[in-house]
Amino acid sequence: MRKIITLFLIIFSIVTNAQNDFFSNNRIILSLKKEINEPVTNLNQIKKLKFLFNDYPINTIKPLDIARTNVLNGRPVLVIFNNPINIETIIQKLKDTNLFDYVEPDFISFGSGKKDESYISYDIRFIPTLTTIPNDQFFFRQWGLHNNGSFTLSPSLVDADVDMIEAWDITTGSPNIKMAVIDTGVRMNHPEFSGRFFSNSSETINGLDDDGNGYVDDINGWDFVNNDNNPTDDQGHGTNVTGIAMANANNNIGYAGVDWNCKLLPIKVLDFNNSGFNSNIIASIYYSIDRNVDLISISIGSSGFSTAYQNAVNQAYSLNIPIIACMMNFNNNTSYYPAAFNNTIAVGSTNPNDNRTVPFFWSSTSGSNYGNHIDVVAPGNYIYGLSHTSNSGYETYWGGTSQATPLVSGIVSLMLSLNPNLTVDQINIILRNTAEDQIGNPIEDTFGWDQYYGAGRVNAFNALSQVQSLSNEDIIYNEDIKIYPNPVKEILNFKSSVNPYSFSISIHDITGRLVKDYHKVNNSIDVSQLKNGVYILNIDYDKNKIIKKFIKE
C-alpha cells in the first residue's frame, strides 16, 4: 500500500509541477467592461456575443461575487459550457470583441499538504512551568507549538517552535473573531469543533435564500463543489488544517488548536482528489467577505495567474481581511496563487530542527517553495492532527506549507482578538518584525529577509507582545468615527468628535461598485433602500479617508 501511495504522490508532483496551463476545458471566467453604455443582465443581449450562444452550447452563466443585483457589468462571471471546447480559441474570440476587462481560463488549484497514517509511538513529555499548558491528550506531539527536542520522527531542536504556550499566557482568542477556512471542508460533527461554528442568523433551514446572498440555507458555511450547505470533508486536508488553526483545547482529547475561541466559517472548494476550480475559490472569497469574516486561511495553490482571483484578494485586502496562503511544496521559486499575490501573507514550512523543509516526509523531491513573495515560515512537517473519518482517530500526521499556513492563521486570529482594528499591512509587518531570523540553514537563512525563510520563523509570543504594546500613536484605529447600529436596518448613525457635516460619504458594495453618495451629512444616513449584505463606507473629511464596513439587514 505504501508503494502505491508513493507512486501516486510522484505522479501528482509531476502533474502539478507542470500545471502552468492546467485548467478546465469547459469553463472560463470573464468580466464585462463597466464602460459599456447599457447595464447588461444577460450576455445574450449583446449582439457581438451571439456567436457565443450559437456556436457553444452553454450550461451555466453565474457571477462569482455577491452584489445582490442582476447587472453583470464589472463583475467576475463564470461561464460553463456543456461540452469540452478549445479554451484558448474562445478566449481570443471574446477578447477580440473588446467588451471585456479580462477573459481567462478557470485554472485548477490543489491543496498543498500530504498525510501519512503510520505512527511511531513516543511519549516523552516535558511540562514547563509558568505557562499556559492545555490538557489535550496528545499535545506533546505538537512540536510546532512547543518543541522540547524529544520529537522522534525527525531531527528535533529545543525551542524550534512558535512559543505558543508562552503566547497563550497573553490570550487564547476571542469568539468575536471569525475565520474562514477555504479547503476541502471539515468533519462537521467532530468534538474538536464543537461550539465553534459561525452561525448565519439571517438564515433558517427552509429551502429559501433568506438573506439574499445566493446561497440557500447556508447556516454554517457552503460547499462550492457540490453546491449545497454541507461543507463536509471527504478528503481530510481541510479537517487537518482547520484543526491546526482552531481545534478546541483543554478538553482532554486530541490536539490543541492555536486559537481556542474564534468562530469557524468552513468552506469547501476542493473535492476528494484535493483539487478544485479557481472560480469556486474566487466565489468563496466574496462569500467570506459577505459573511463578514475577520480573516481567511487558504492552504491551496495554482500556478495560473487570474485577474479575477487577484481582484477578489484585493477586495478582501481593501476591507482589512487578511488572507494567509501557502507557498506550495515543489522546492522551487514558481509563483503559486494566491500566495504570490501582493496582498496576501505567504507562508513557507520548517522542520522540527528549524531548517526549511526540504524534503517533506512524503517525497524526496518535495520542499517548501521559496521566492520573492514569501513573508514568513512556520512549522509544517510531521504535523499531527484531526481525522476527517473519525472523532477519535489521532494517529495521522501531515506535511506541507498547507500545515504551516493555518498555524500562522491562528496566530493572526489571536492578534485580532487583542486588536480587531489591525490592518493587513500592520499584521504582516508585526509577523515579520517579530519572526526569529537566522534560525535555519545558514546557506539559505541569511540576515534579514531572504527568499527561503522570508523574515524568519514566526513567533506567536513576540507577535502578541508587540500587539499589546502598541499605543494609539502607533496605529490609526479609525475609532474617532464610530458607526452604529451595525448591522443596521434603516438609519446608520455617526458618533465623532468631527462634525459629520464635513463628511463626504460614498457607499460601495463588496465588488467595489458605487451604490450611493452623500455630501455634508448630519449625524445619520438612511440606508433602508439598500439590499441586505455587506457594504463599504468611505468617509472623506479634511484630507483624511476612513473606510468602515457595515452590514445591512
**Which of the residues are catalytic?**
183, 237, 402
User: Is the peptide bond preceding residue 84 cis, with omega within 30 degrees of 0?
Assistant: no
CA distance 280 to 293: 18
Q: CB within 8 A of 236, min separation 6: which ones?
A: 115, 184, 387, 388, 389, 396
Cβ atoms < 10 Å from Cβ of 14: 11
User: Can you give the three-state secondary structure of 503-515, one letter per residue?
Assistant: CEEEEEECCCCEE
CA distance 428 to 344: 9
Q: CB within 8 A of 111, min separation 6: which ones?
A: 183, 184, 235, 237, 238, 270, 274, 275, 299, 300, 400, 402
DSSP symbol at 442: T
- Single-letter residue type at 3: K
DSSP strand pairing (263-268 vs 178-183): parallel
Helix, strand, or coil (residue 493): strand
Identify the CA nearest to 407 among candidates 350, 469, 361. 350
DSSP strand pairing (77-81 vs 23-32): antiparallel
Q: How far is CA 276 from CA 23, 26, 184, 340, in A?
A: 10, 14, 9, 18
Nine cell digits for residue 476 = 490609526
Cβ atoms < 10 Å from Cβ of 36: 14
C-alpha neighbours within 13 Å on the C-beta side of residue 196: 29
Identify the CA nearest to 308 among candidates 43, 23, 40, 77. 77
- CB-CB contact of 377 with 141 (8 Å): no
- Number of H-type helices and E-type strands within the chain: 10, 23
CA distance 503 to 493: 13
